[in-house]
Amino acid sequence: MGPFPSSFGKSYIILGVDYVSKWVEAKATRTDDAKTVVEFVKANIFSKFGMPRAIISDRGTHFCNKVVDALSKKYNVTHRVSTAYHPQTNGQAEISNREIKSILEKTVNPTEKIGVLV
């Protein structure tokens, strides 16, 4: 998600949601590129939850690229991509995105730092 007003040099929030438990892992990041996605998945998904059977994402260029494809292939994880204009495919993540945005809108003054919250 983002970009948001920069806080401690970070303007984006990347998140992952465990499909079964609905547990949300979120992290403020400097960029939303493929390298950031792969680092997040390894550090916050694979290491905490183990190897998933599948990863579902939207069609953003930070998810649909050779770097993420290589990660999926290396760890034998299926990468499923939501249908264009049908965000319900990735519904739990979309709900979590809305909730985080709502919390930030209600609790953070645009001139304050957001890095402490995420």
ω into 87 cis (within 30 of 0):
no
pTM: 0.78
Q: Are strands 12-17 and 24-29 parallel, antiparallel or unpaired?
A: antiparallel
pLDDT in tens, 13-60: 999 998 888 899 999 999 999 999 999 999 999 999 999 999 999 889
The mean pLDDT value for 91-113 works out to 74
Q: For residue 100, with 0-12 CB atoms within 10 Å meaning exposed, 13-18 middle and 19 or more buried, which class applies?
A: middle
**Mean pLDDT, the chain, whole residue set:** 86
Structure tokens at 28: 């403020």
**107 contacts: CB under 8 Å, gap ≥ 6:** 117
pLDDT at 85: 66
Question: Computed from CA positions of residues 110, 112, 114, 115, in that sequence, does the dihedral angle turn out positive or negative?
Answer: positive
Question: Residue with structure tokens 């998945």?
Answer: 41
Of 5-14, 23-32, 92-101, give the lowest mean pLDDT range.
92-101
pLDDT at 48: 92
pLDDT at 90: 64
Residue 112 has pLDDT above 60, yes or no: no
Q: Which domains, from first to last, does the chain contain?
A: 12-107 (3.30.420.10)
pLDDT at 14: 93
- Residue 101 has a CB neighbour count (10 Å cut-off) of 14
CB 68, CB 79: distance < 8 Å: yes
Residue 117 has pLDDT above 60, yes or no: no
pLDDT at 87: 59
Query: With the CA atoms of 88, 115, 102 and 89 taken in that order, what torsion angle do they form, in degrees rounded to the nearest 10?
Result: 0
pLDDT at 62: 93
